[in-house]
Amino acid sequence: MNSNRQSLWKRIMGVRGMGAALTAFVGLVIIYIAFGLINPTVFSGQNILNLLRSMSKYLLIGIAQSYVLITGNIDLSIGTQVGMSAMISATLMTSGISPAVAILVALISCLAVGVINGYLVGKFKLPPFIATLGTMFVTRGIAYMVNGNRNTDAISTGVGKEVADQFQNFFYYGSTLGVYNTFWIAMVVFVIFFFFLSKTRSGRHIYAIGSNIDAAKLSGVNVVMTTTKAYLVSSVCSCIVGLILCAQAGMGNMEAGNMYEMYGVAAGVIGGVSPLGGTGILLGTLAGAAVWQTLENGLNMIGAQVGIQRLVIGIIVVTAVLLDVVVRNGEFGKKKKKQS
């Protein structure tokens, strides 16, 4: 019995990136309990539900950015794709088009951006920072242009109150089994992309090109396709977050998703995804997103101002990476490798 449990533990710890992910989870529990001790409302059922819902957005953004980070690239256009998705779906709905069609158009637009990102980086070898900086501006521009440089009216003015409520409940306000739908949506997406990354050939190739692109190429990995797949996953997640924001506000906001790409980097990095590529698991990203939201929520609950929240998160991100660098370089003496 005991040995059985041990081997399971061993198997879990044998998964690459699990250490960092579990560390983030431990951090999460500590932070949560610490805030709860200061203000017990943190432990209340309603607060947990709110926490799960707000965390879901950051989880999706984190998945988006983690996929790209693992290939050794970055996607700066995540936040603007969120905005574009929100504006396109809202604009279509305010003009009376059904949510299903609106969602489809938003999705196709985001996928197009993903393909462009993938080709610019994978095929034309543009530095990902520059390529996605370009698509970032372009997609924000489109978000502005869809409704003539202004936010949309309430979506109920187009599709009617009933349909609008349905849409908003599905993505944000409604609950299933007592938990907000947003959380379930994020969980479904999480499970699908967790499986895709850890269990499929494409997922394996995503790690491989992030680890050593030349070795991957020489082993017959299609670098262009693999890069594009990572950017497409990023676009799908961004699109969904855009729909969630649209549902939350009941309208389209041109600035929706501002800075989300950076929140994505933070969630991934806190959970152990290396910005240099090749390492990290989505479980870590889940923990990272949770740490982030727990911090924001907890600091809110104890009455800290927004400035402090940002400041603390900044310190946590740097500390997480610093810890990683220090451990990897063997500064602690534990993993020190002799140069040979």
Partner 1 sequence: MKDIIVSMENISKSFPGVKALDNVKFELCSGEVMALLGENGAGKSTLMKILSGVYTRDGGRLEIFGKEYGDLTPKQAQEAGVAIIHQELNMCKHLSVAENMFLGRELSGRFALDNAGMEAKAREVLDDLKIDIDPRQTVGDLPVSKQQMVEIAKALSINARILIMDEPTSALTAREIEDLFRIIHKLKDDGCGIVYISHRLEELQHIVDRVTIMRDGQYITSMDFAGTPMDQIITHMVGREIKEKFPRVECEKGKKVFEVKNLNAGRMVRDINFSVYEGEIVGFAGLMGAGRTETTRAIFGADPKESGEIYVDGKEVKIHCPMDAIRNGVVLAPEDRKKDGLCTKLSIRHNLALPNLDMLCNKLGAVSSKKESELCDKAVKNLKIKTPNVEIDSGNLSGGNQQKVVVGKWLARDSRVVIFDEPTRGIDVGAKVEIYNLMNELKQQGIAVMFVSSEMPEVMGIADRIVVMCDGRITGEVMARETTQSEILTLATSFEDKNINSR
Binder among 2, 46, 149, 340 for partner 1 (CB under 8 A) = 340
Residue 26 makes contact with partner 1 by CB under 8 A: no
Binding mask 256-295 for partner 1 (x = CB under 8 A): ----------------------xx----------------
Residue 216 makes contact with partner 1 by CB under 8 A: yes
Q: Where are the beta strands (DSSP E) in the chain?
A: 175-176, 179-180
Q: Copy the structure tokens of residue 11.
A: 């198997």
Q: Report, in Å, the least distance between residue 184 CB and partner 1.
A: 22
Residue 169 makes contact with partner 1 by CB under 8 A: no
Nearest to 93 by CA among 166, 139, 147, 156: 156
Q: Copy the structure tokens of residue 224.
A: 């262009």
The SS3 of residue 271 is coil
Q: Copy the structure tokens of residue 59.
A: 């989880």
Report the C-alpha gap between 62 and 55 in whole angstroms. Answer: 10
Report the C-alpha gap between 300 and 306 in whole angstroms. Answer: 8
Q: Residue 175: enclosing H or E segment and its boundaries? A: strand 175-176
Report the C-alpha gap between 92 and 154 in whole angstroms. Answer: 11
Residue 177 makes contact with partner 1 by CB under 8 A: no
CB-count burial class (<10 Å; 0-12, 13-18, 19+) for 206 = buried
Q: Report, in Å, the least distance between residue 216 CB and partner 1.
A: 6
Q: Of the listed pieces 90-98, 130-138, 216-224, 310-318, which binds partner 1 according to CB under 8 A? A: 216-224
Residue 225 makes contact with partner 1 by CB under 8 A: no
Which residues within the stretch 47-106 sit at the binding site for partner 1 (CB under 8 A)?
A: none
Q: Report, in Å, the least distance between residue 15 CB and partner 1.
A: 10
Inter-CA distances, 88 with 5, 12, 137, 155, 336, Å: 51, 43, 16, 11, 53
Angular region, 272: left φ>0, alpha ψ -120 to 50, beta rest: left
What radius of gyration, in Å, describes the C-alpha atoms of the chain? 21
Residue 199 makes contact with partner 1 by CB under 8 A: yes
Residue 14 makes contact with partner 1 by CB under 8 A: yes
Residue 125 makes contact with partner 1 by CB under 8 A: no
Binder among 39, 166, 175, 211 for partner 1 (CB under 8 A) = 211
Residue closer to partner 1 (CB basis): 114 or 280: 280
Residue 339 makes contact with partner 1 by CB under 8 A: yes
Cα torsion at 78, 63, 172, 239 (round to 10°)?
A: 40
Report the C-alpha gap between 223 and 74 in whole angstroms. Answer: 15
Residue closer to partner 1 (CB basis): 68 or 159: 68
Report the C-alpha gap between 208 and 213 in whole angstroms. Answer: 7
Residue closer to partner 1 (CB basis): 58 or 193: 193
Letter for the amino acid at 160? G
Report the C-alpha gap between 273 and 210 in whole angstroms. Answer: 11
Q: Report, in Å, the least distance between residue 248 CB and partner 1.
A: 34
Binder among 58, 183, 193, 207 for partner 1 (CB under 8 A) = 207
Residue 310 makes contact with partner 1 by CB under 8 A: no
Residue 1 makes contact with partner 1 by CB under 8 A: no
Q: Report, in Å, the least distance between residue 279 CB and partner 1.
A: 5
Q: Report, in Å, the least distance between residue 196 CB and partner 1.
A: 10
Residue closer to partner 1 (CB basis): 45 or 220: 220
Length of the chain: 340
Residue 114 makes contact with partner 1 by CB under 8 A: no
Footprint of partner 1 (CB under 8 A): 14, 16, 195, 199-201, 203-205, 207-208, 210-212, 214-216, 218-221, 278-279, 339-340
